[in-house]
């Protein structure tokens, strides 16, 4: 497979973004109250594809909506009827700008759960119809640890188009997948010129090395996987979850958390059934009618969260359910870090 690389400058990149927006429905980080969320945009000036990772929500809602309408229904004494909603045209071709590498990776992780047994066709259609355009971070944030996990950040193939800030103001636009390649054919303008891999590679490598060298957090995920799987009963889970306020926001901002709940909203005789996010840190996540709850206390719920991310999902689907983006830590009102939790717990388990 030949993948093409282009080189351009700031102005050329703007032109490229404009061409993307002209060719497809485009989503990009839009700022509000100092926080960026991915929204539909029509102009480059509305958005910031290089938004800081610490202030940007994940792209998960574009594939797994925060609330999806499952169906509409009518329920009267005369009878009941259900019908699918006509919202969210899945066939629309989309592009997303400013996707972080960790976010792009999260889709690969989610693919596993959505494509085993029952296939989530809506998710799949959204995946197929979307081009992921990702700008590589120039440096890591305080809570980033993507390079410590089970994926190759440098050669990530979860993204279709890679944009890298090279040396001397040069900006590289590189296709990573066949989808990205054909997309670039449509959208790259005269302001960007093709460049051979021999010329581009050293510069890309240099940028990556500088990025990879900027991480504060480093860990050996294999060691964490192995140790955690053996220490279900460690009291350390109580210590690490002590100041958690059970606010659940970690799961809502996490790009890989995929638990959901189903709820009805009914006014008079008609209603809508929604599928919306939920969090295992909720006290009532596993509370059954009749009062039985397998995880009645906070540390058990935290244990489920940590173990699901680094043990259970790995056992079942072969991936860590964490991409090292640090979004949970940033959103957490008391800054509990999943990185610290799993490292502290696995370290404590060994001492005993």
Residue from 3, 4, 18, 71 touching another protein (CB under 8 A): that is: 71
Residue from 274, 324, 338, 346 touching another protein (CB under 8 A): that is: 274
Residue from 185, 205, 222, 316 touching another protein (CB under 8 A): that is: 316
A 10 A CB-CB count for 189 gives 12
What CA–CA distance (Å, rounded) separates 326 from 5?
30
Binding mask 225-244 for another protein (x = CB under 8 A): -------x---------xx-
3-state secondary structure the chain: CCCCEEEECHHHHHHHHHHHHHHCEEEEEEEECCEEEEEEECCHHHCCCCCCHHHECCCHHHCCCCEEEEEEEEEECCEEEEECCCCCCCCCCEEEEEECHHHHHHHHHHHHHHCCCCCCHHHHHHHHCEEEEEECCCCCCCCCCHHHCCCCCCCCCCCCEEEEECHHHCEEEEECCHHHHHHHHHHCCCCCEEECHHHHHHHHHHHHHHHHCCCCCCCCHHHHHHHHCCCCCCCHHHHHCCCCCCCCHHHHHCCCCCCEEEEEEEECCEEEEEEEECCCCCCCCCCCCCCCCCCCCHHHHHHHHHHHHHHHHHHHHCCCCCCCCCHHHHHCCCCCCHHHHHHHHHHHHHHC
307 makes contact with another protein (CB under 8 A): yes
Contact segment (CB under 8 A) with another protein among 5-13, 72-80, 129-137, 149-157 equals: 72-80
277 makes contact with another protein (CB under 8 A): yes
Contact segment (CB under 8 A) with another protein among 6-14, 164-172, 188-196, 260-268 equals: 260-268
145 makes contact with another protein (CB under 8 A): no
Q: Is 233 exposed, middle or buried (0-12, 13-18, 19+ CB in 10 A)?
A: exposed
Q: How many residues bind another protein (CB under 8 A)?
A: 95
283 makes contact with another protein (CB under 8 A): yes
347 makes contact with another protein (CB under 8 A): no
Q: What is the nearest approach in angstroms of another protein to the Cβ of residue 264? A: 5
CB nearer to another protein: give 23 or 129.
129
Residue from 182, 193, 201, 335 touching another protein (CB under 8 A): that is: 335
Residue from 6, 183, 252, 302 touching another protein (CB under 8 A): that is: 252
CB nearer to another protein: give 142 or 201.
142
Residue from 16, 17, 27, 114 touching another protein (CB under 8 A): that is: 114
279 makes contact with another protein (CB under 8 A): yes
Residue from 4, 157, 181, 340 touching another protein (CB under 8 A): that is: 340
Which structure tokens are listed for 18?
């404009």
CB nearer to another protein: give 82 or 226.
82
Q: What is the nearest approach in angstroms of another protein to the Cβ of residue 160? A: 23
Nearest to 265 by CA among 93, 85, 111: 85
Q: What is the nearest approach in angstroms of another protein to the Cβ of residue 128? A: 15
Binding mask 153-192 for another protein (x = CB under 8 A): ----------------------------------------
Residue from 1, 2, 45, 79 touching another protein (CB under 8 A): that is: 79
198 makes contact with another protein (CB under 8 A): no
């Amino acid at each position: 497979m030949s993948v093409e690389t282009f080189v351009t400058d700031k102005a050329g990149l703007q032109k490229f973004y404009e061409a993307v927006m002209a060719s497809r429905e485009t989503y990009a980080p839009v700022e509000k109250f100092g926080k960026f969320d991915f929204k539909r945009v029509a102009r480059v000036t509305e958005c910031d594809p290089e938004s800081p990772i610490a202030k940007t929500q994940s792209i998960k809602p574009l594939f797994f909506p925060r609330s999806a309408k499952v169906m509409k229904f009518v329920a009267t004494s005369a009878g009941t009827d259900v019908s699918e909603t006509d919202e969210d045209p899945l066939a629309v071709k989309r592009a997303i700008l400013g996707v972080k590498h960790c976010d792009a990776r999260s889709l690969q992780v989610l693919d596993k759960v959505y494509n085993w047994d029952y296939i989530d066709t809506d998710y799949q259609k959204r995946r197929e119809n979307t081009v992921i355009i990702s700008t590589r971070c120039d440096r890591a944030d305080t809570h980033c640890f993507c390079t410590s996990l089970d994926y190759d950040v440098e050669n990530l193939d979860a993204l279709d188009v890679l944009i890298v800030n090279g040396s001397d103001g040069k900006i590289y636009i590189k296709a990573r997948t066949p989808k990205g390649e054909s997309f670039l054919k449509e959208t790259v303008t005269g302001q960007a010129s093709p460049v051979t891999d021999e010329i581009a590679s050293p510069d890309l490598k240099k940028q990556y090395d500088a990025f990879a060298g900027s991480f504060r957090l480093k860990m050996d995920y294999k060691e964490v996987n192995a140790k955690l799987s053996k220490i279900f009963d460690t009291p350390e889970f109580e210590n690490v979850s002590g100041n958690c306020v059970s606010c659940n926001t970690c799961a809502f901002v996490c790009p890989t958390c995929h638990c959901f709940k189903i709820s009805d909203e009914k006014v008079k005789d008609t209603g809508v059934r929604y599928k919306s996010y939920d969090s295992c840190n909720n006290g009532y996540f596993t509370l059954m009618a009749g009062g039985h709850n397998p995880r009645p206390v906070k540390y058990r719920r935290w244990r489920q969260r940590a173990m699901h991310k680094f043990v259970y999902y790995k056992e079942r689907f072969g991936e860590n359910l964490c991409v090292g983006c640090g979004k949970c830590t940033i959103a957490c009102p008391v800054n509990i870090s999943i990185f610290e939790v799993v490292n502290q717990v696995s370290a404590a388990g060994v001492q005993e």
